């Protein structure tokens, strides 16, 4: 079996990477993170036409699939760019009807009302009254402070989930909560009688797909952060001298860096395989997604610690970029469910105990 990026995918990676280098250089990203400039970057992403890449044209996007989205996630993480609105939107879009989905890529970001620290769909459901008004609260919604529309999960007939669309206007309050990783944001969303409209999709199918896509994309994000940390650590270990030699000449340092490289390469192989698998919708695709979420994001958190060790105290300073990636990788481990939650899904899928 041989799997590789297509020529178009390679070209996309290159051109989006070049755009990012131009639109989100270090100094600018740091200013955004310090001043809460996530909206500025999100606006630029929309304006320059990148927001719909990886979303089928039928859903208002520009075509492509989860592999393109994973490339985007990896590159965004490598640049430490603010990406909550982008991720929330591409996850929510498959539930939107025509019209709103196009708007979602024109600056009216969408988000699923589900806690960012749980597997999508595992969170609390809202209640709906006879007039279609929604009531309830969902804590820690990714991009909850920046979204124009929300996909809400309510109790449908017989307790099955049902999806509703609600606008971030009257009756919806979003209380921003600042994260240690300031390149993403979450908000507690409280809904008190906001009107809602129907969404014509199978809720279970959407939520299952949303979970799988979230798993792959957060893993891809972790991969991007890891690759950047490896880059920083190797560069530093060649610059920094101790005992008259570059610290990179010490085996303990070399081996730690080589171990990170192994993690990065393993992650890359697994993430893109899982992305293609989820897009193909094979019977094992949910397990592949769970596996990369559990494994890659845990590796990302380990790599963060190792990269910090390799940097010594300089990596602990505000001036150095390492902490941006460090916090990104640490959040990725728990964003949309920690390794334990995803391992549980894998265990369930293995039928360890006879049904």
In the complex, what is the shortest distance from the CB of residue 255 to other proteins, in angstroms, rounded to a whole number? 6
Beta carbons of 114 and 122 less than 8 angstroms apart: yes
User: Candidates 54-62, 88-96, 108-116, 251-259 — which segment interacts with other proteins by CB under 8 A?
Assistant: 251-259
By beta-carbon proximity to other proteins, the closer residue of 190 and 256 is 256
CA–CA gap between residue 115 and residue 123 (Å, rounded)? 6
Q: Is 255 in the site for other proteins (CB under 8 A)?
A: yes
Give the orientation angle of helix 339-350 with respect to helix 285-311, to 10 degrees. Answer: 150
How far apart are CB 253 and other proteins at their closest, in Å? Answer: 8
Looking up tokens 């391992």, which residue turns up?
343
Is residue 160 classed as helix, strand or coil in its secondary structure? coil
Q: 98 or 251, CB closer to other proteins?
A: 251
CA distances for 82 relative to 91, 206, 240, angstroms: 16, 25, 30
262 lies in the site for other proteins, by CB under 8 A: no
Q: Which of 252, 262, 280, 314 binds other proteins (CB under 8 A)?
A: 252
Our measurement of the distance from residue 173's CA atom to the centroid of its chain's CA atoms, rounded to an integer in Å, reads: 24
| # residues near other proteins by CB under 8 A | 4
Tell me how far, at minimum, the Cβ of 345 lies from other proteins, in Å. Answer: 21
Name which of residues 159 to 218 contact other proteins (CB under 8 A).
none
For residues 247 and 276, which CB has a smaller minimum distance to other proteins in the complex? 247
> Does 251 interact with other proteins (rule: CB under 8 A)?
yes
Q: Which residue's CB is nearer to other proteins, number 9 or number 249?
A: 249
Is 250 a binding residue for other proteins by CB under 8 A? The answer is yes
Taking the least distance from each CB to other proteins, the nearer of 241 and 255 is 255
Site for other proteins in 8-47 (CB under 8 A): none
Closest CA to 217 of 163, 284, 165, 279: 279
* Residue 257 C-beta: closest distance to other proteins, Å: 13
Question: Which residues, including other chains, have CB under 8 Å from residue 89's CB and lie 6 or more apart?
Answer: 51, 104, 105, 109, 110, 111, 143, 147
Cα–Cα distance for residue pair 329/181, rounded to 1 Å: 9
Nearest approach in angstroms of CB 250 to other proteins is: 6
Q: Are 84 and 142 in contact (CB under 8 A)?
A: yes
Output b/e per residue, 34-59; b: 16+ Cβ within 10 A: eeebbbebbeebbeeebbbbbbeeeb
Tell me whether residue 250 or residue 334 sits nearer to other proteins (CB atom).
Answer: 250
Smallest separation (angstroms) from other proteins to the CB of 303: 19
Q: Which one of 17-25, 28-36, 55-63, 246-254 is the stretch in contact with other proteins (CB under 8 A)? A: 246-254
Task: Report the residue number, 10 or 340, with the smaller CB distance to other proteins.
Answer: 340
Which residue's entry shows tokens 């991720």?
87
CB-CB contact of 266 with 292 (8 Å): no
Note whether 4 binds other proteins by CB under 8 A. no
Binding site for other proteins (CB under 8 A): 250-252, 255
């Amino acid at each position: 079996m041989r799997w590789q990026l297509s020529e178009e995918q390679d070209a996309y990676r290159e051109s989006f990477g070049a755009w990012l280098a131009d639109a989100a250089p270090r100094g600018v990203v740091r200013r955004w993170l310090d001043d809460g400039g996530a909206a500025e970057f999100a606006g630029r992403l929309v304006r320059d036409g990148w927001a719909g890449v990886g979303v089928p044209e039928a859903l208002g996007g520009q075509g492509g699939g989860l592999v393109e989205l994973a490339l985007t996630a990896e590159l965004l993480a490598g640049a430490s760019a603010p990406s909550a609105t982008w991720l929330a939107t591409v996850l929510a879009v498959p539930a939107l009807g025509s019209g709103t989905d196009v708007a979602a890529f024109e600056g009216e970001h969408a988000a699923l009302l589900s806690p960012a620290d749980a597997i999508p769909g595992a969170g609390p459901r809202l209640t709906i009254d006879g007039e279609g008004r929604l009531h309830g609260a969902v804590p820690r919604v990714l991009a909850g402070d920046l979204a124009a529309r929300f996909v809400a999960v309510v109790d449908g007939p017989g307790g099955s989930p049902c999806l509703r669309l609600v606008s971030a206007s009257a009756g919806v309050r979003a209380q921003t909560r600042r994260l240690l990783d300031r390149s993403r944001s979450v908000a507690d969303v409280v809904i008190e009688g906001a009107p809602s409209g129907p969404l014509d999709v199978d809720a279970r199918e959407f939520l299952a797909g949303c979970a799988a896509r979230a798993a792959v994309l957060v893993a891809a994000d972790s991969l991007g952060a890891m690759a950047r940390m490896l880059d920083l650590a190797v560069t530093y270990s060649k610059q920094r001298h101790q005992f008259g030699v570059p610290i990179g000449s010490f085996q303990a340092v070399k081996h730690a860096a080589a171990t990170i490289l192994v993690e990065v390469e393993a992650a890359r192989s697994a993430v893109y395989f899982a992305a293609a698998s989820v897009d193909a919708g094979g019977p094992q695709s949910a397990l592949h997604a769970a596996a990369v979420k559990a494994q890659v994001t845990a590796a990302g958190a380990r790599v963060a610690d190792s990269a910090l060790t390799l940097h010594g105290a300089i990596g602990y300073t505000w001036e150095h970029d390492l902490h941006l990636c460090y916090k990104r990788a640490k959040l990725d481990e728990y964003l949309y469910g920690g390794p334990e939650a995803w391992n549980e899904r894998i265990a369930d899928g293995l039928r360890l105990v006879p049904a």
